[in-house]
Copies of this chain bind each other. A is one copy, B any other.
Amino acid sequence: MTFLARLTAAVAARGPLCVGIDPHPGLLEAWGGGAPAARAERLGRAVVEAAAGRAGVVKPQVALFEALGSPGIAALERVLADARDAGLIVIADAKRGDIGSTNLGYAAAWLAPGSPLEADALTVSPYLGVGALDGLLAAAEQAGKGLFVLAATSNPEAAAVQLARLPDGRTIAAAVADAVAERNAGTGAGHGLVIGATVDRAAFGLGGLDSATPVLAPGFGAQGARLADLDALDPDDAHVLASASRSILQAGPDGIAPAIAAAAAALAR
């Protein structure tokens, strides 16, 4: 079963909400005692429990677990296992990317069946060229998993790189999108793109969405996009995942389940 088929089924059943699992230092205090990694694990596993049955996709932010060292990574392993046991699609948000032989290390970590960090998809960075990701793409496909490749992000500093143009006139963002769509056309894998929720797609040369190429759109809630705007963003009903993190997590231990339910309802069509 391809990643596209699994993601499509999850979105059909639960809608396009992607719940971020971002254990920011300022949030940890609400999650009991012990070391920061223990609090991050409690937060993460509670989000998974609250998301199960209410959302189809979760996205742990790896940087915030990594910040806690190897105990943080061990906590993330348990969060990932819970999430996959609960039938959620798990996108490890790690923005990894290197030359081919090194990328096989990342494939072993995040995409290999049985790895303690196994996820269903991984976010990656194409600074070394989308072609450098071939080994990761192939590893994902072999396991029915996908990559989400950074294309256009909503931070103000991004234009300096992502709007640069190739000799054929395309922006980097558009060239990345074309390369991913081409890979999907050949494989049906359903690799996706990361495109910020507030990005002006026309300015980046990103026109209509390819329905076989999912879009992960971070920034709903705290970063300014409203969940109700998703229809405008996604007129063709392609797979745009609306990722919301802080707006849900700041509801605290007792508020997460209702916050997820409310966000999912705001996205219901």
Instruction: Please list the residues of chain A having a beta carbon within 8 angstroms of any beta carbon in chain B.
Output: 24-25, 61, 63-64, 66-71, 73-74, 76-77, 95-106, 108-109, 115-117, 125-132, 134, 150, 153, 155-166, 172, 175
| Minimum Cβ distance to chain B for residue A172 (Å) | 5
* Smallest CB separation, A151 vs chain B (Å): 10
Contact partners of A117 in chain B: CB under 8 A: 66, 69-70
Interface contact A128-B156, CB-CB below 8 Å = no
A165 to B160, CA, bound (A): 10
Given A64-B102, A70-B116, 13 other A-B residues pairs in contact with their CB atoms under 8 A? A63-B106, A66-B106, A66-B109, A67-B104, A69-B73, A69-B115, A70-B74, A97-B127, A126-B127, A127-B127, A130-B157, A163-B166, A164-B165
Residues of B within 8 A of A106 (CB): 63, 66-67
Query: Which label, helix, strand, loop or mixed, suits the secondary structure of the A interface?
Result: helix
Query: Is A160 a contact partner of B155 (Cβ separation < 8 A)?
Result: no
CB <8 Å contact, B160 and A63: no
